[in-house]
Structure 1
Amino acid sequence: MSQNNNDQMLGLLRDTIVAMVRKDGPDLSARQLGVFLTCYLQEGAHTVRGLAAELNVSKPAITRALDRLGELDLARRKVDPLDRRSVLVQRTLRGAAFLREMRSVMNEAAGVKAPKAKTAPVARIATRRAAG
């Protein structure tokens, strides 16, 4: 990759993070964001042990990140029913919504326009009646 391309990606990352910080909502640390994105972007079951290995950090560091994600309802932990020694990380509806918001903010920062929302038929009828 060229230096210019790297600088563009770093600029996009910065613009995305700044936009997320300015929004009402959770601010995640780099570690929390790494755990969150790993859980939501990589398929398969995620465990505390597996996340620690994947991110090359300690299990207590993953636990602290998951504590915060749990407080924000962005992820939750559940004991693996097949192996009670293992803890599974589950996605949440709020976490999925947060990921959609991140994608939207990132697209905006990249200058990608969101598709225009179609007007609902009921709204068009009401508009015609008001105009007519």
Structure 2
Amino acid sequence: MAMQTNPDVLVGILRDTVVALVRRDGPDLSARQLGVFLTVYLTDGPHTVRGLAAELNVSKPAITRALDRLGELDLARRKVDPMDRRSVLVQRTLKGAAFLRDMRSIMDQAAREAPQGGENPAEGSARRAG
């Protein structure tokens, strides 16, 4: 059975995670780039531009732009599908796996610091930031 979590707490964890990612040295991904990255790393492949566009309900050019940036950062790479040369496969990288590990660690820390019970999530965030 899934644990019930206050949506405000979850949004606070997301905020704290994003702020930590922005503050640290390393890639600063847009929401779309992060969505593509997480889809590639957290769901079973193979992943294609066409498949990612369908799964995320965005255009293929939008996926291509996100993959361009992920490729520049070596967080993902594209390779022509040897079975269907018209199709491009998206592959994970070692640097991308390390980025995901870092992100999990940051989220875990944010979750451990999240307010519990009746505490106002905004007050908890302000206290941690101060």
Say yes or no: does 1:32 pair with 2:28.
no
Flag as ranges the 4+ runs of structure 1 deviating above 3 A.
none
1:88 alignment partner, SS class: strand
2:58 alignment partner, SS class: coil
After superposition, give the CA deviation of every residue in 1:34-92 in whole Å (9 maximum; x if it has no partner): 00000000012000000000000000000000000000000000000000000000000
RMSD (CA atoms):
1.0
Say yes or no: does 1:109 pair with 2:110.
yes
What is the alpha-carbon distance in structure 1 between the residues aligned to residue 91 and residue 69 of structure 2? 14
Shift of 1:111: 1.2
Alignment map for 1:1-132 (pairs within 5 Å): 5-111=6-112
The equivalent residue for 2:119 is none
Larger RCO, structures 1/2 (Cα 8 Å, 6+ apart): 2
Q: Percent identity?
A: 81
What is the alpha-carbon distance in structure 1 between the residues aligned to residue 68 and residue 20 of structure 2? 24
The amino acid that maps onto 2:106 is V
Alignment length, in residue pairs? 109
1:95 alignment partner, SS class: helix
What is the alpha-carbon distance in structure 2 between the residues aligned to residue 54 and residue 80 of structure 1? 19
What is the alpha-carbon distance in structure 2 between the residues aligned to residue 19 and residue 44 of structure 1? 29
The amino acid that maps onto 2:104 is R
1:76 alignment partner, SS class: strand
The TM-score, its normalising length taken from structure 1, stands at 0.81
What is the alpha-carbon distance in structure 2 between the residues aligned to residue 29 and residue 49 of structure 1? 20
